[in-house]
Structure 1
Amino acid sequence: MHGFTGWPADAAKFLTEIAADNTRDFWEEHRHRHATAVHGPMRALAAELEPEFGPVRIFRPAVNRRFRPDAPPYRTDTGGVATSAGGSTFSIVLSATALSVAAGHWAFDGGQTRRYRAAVDGPAGEWLAGLLGSLGSLDGLTPDDGRPLVGAPRGFRADHPRIALLRRRGLQLTATWPVGEWIGTREPVARVRAAWRAAAPVAAWLDEHVGPAATVPRPASVASVPSP
């Protein structure tokens, strides 16, 4: 496989068109464009990231409608996800309008939530707050707003010094860049690699103190890690 040289202009064009005409007829007529302009470059990008971040599982173009029968049959984006040994995910998604990356956990399961809150309540919570505070100097990488609790979690006071962290139901760092001519160059490799590296200390904290999910939660939007 050749190295990543960028997505051609037809990638964003195809993704726009499949969103407007998400039918089997369109797909069968234009699937060669997806293979050449969308999937091929995504595989090349994943191959360049793999030596540092491990295997990147690329999303299939067809949507699994077993549990989402009303979903459109074909994806209107492309991307992939790598998983750390401790369960944190590192994702990349290209849509017709933006290239986005994420790292962490979009949603904790019950066991993860208990472990997360216990860690945030102790000295490890101060460490996490410091890591998140350092993100201010990093271009575009921020904690996703998620779906925080309105009140204080059971067993914690509303005036806890890290109540905002305790209210979180997941912790994921994200960055998004509008599509432009730059996606047709090698710049996406540099941006994704830099963002994933910047997110790595928070992912390491999650790996150590939260660990993997018992079951993989299904994301609600393309801003989170999409299901394959």
Structure 2
Amino acid sequence: MNQLQRLFQYQGCNVRVVMLNGEPWFVLKDVCEILELGQVAGVKRRLSEDVISNHPLQTAGGLQQMTVINEDGLYDVVLESRKPEAKAFRKWITSEVLPTIRKTGSYFIEQSPMVQEYLSWDEEQRAIAYFKEKREHRIAKEQLAIAAPKAEMFDVIASSKNSQPIGSVAKSFNWGRNKMFKFLRNQKVLMKSNEPYQAYIERGYFVVRQVPVAVGDGTINRTQTLVTAKGIDFIGRLLKNNGLLA
């Protein structure tokens, strides 16, 4: 298990990152201080169990157990902040911190001989390796796209079993359907078309599928958005954080 600790600076504030199983986890205390969210315990209670963990970190006061959050958890915390700085902080994470971690090889196991070799390269060699990886990733993505229709249909069937239309979710919160759509658009979760932004689909909150509808002598496909169990929990937390749910 990789437990390499990294330290980043955001406008004079520390942002500590620890690598667990090859993935970056952020110290919740640091994020809360930057976004001015108050007590860590209160923020922690509002997060899903799958995005938080406890990890021992070396501090000025010695080894301490710290609450850390993964990338999904980080985005959930950013959504809680009403501070204009939240958007700039998220951009800094996605445009500087994560690319830096990937570029320096920290997504790999620290003891790996391949990583040791990578870290010994100069900047030009690292750049070549980075763009080669991006090209190979693009090629692999194109190859997967060939099989996408069948795979997508399977995923929709599998993931839709416990998913619900947004209207049904709204009713479970004693809200009207249109009111819920408007709220999610205002929260930048849904686009003007009432379809979710890709980031929220990738995080497992929504499933978008094509539903055939009879029109005249033929059929047309219409887009339907379903909310997963994880998405219902996410919407509930959004409502609560905005003072709209007891």
TM-score above 0.5: no
Q: TM-score, normalised by structure 2?
A: 0.27
Please identify which structure carries the higher helix content: 2
Q: Which structure has the greater CA radius of gyration?
A: 2
The TM-score with structure 1 as length reference comes to 0.28
Higher strand proportion, which one?
Answer: 2
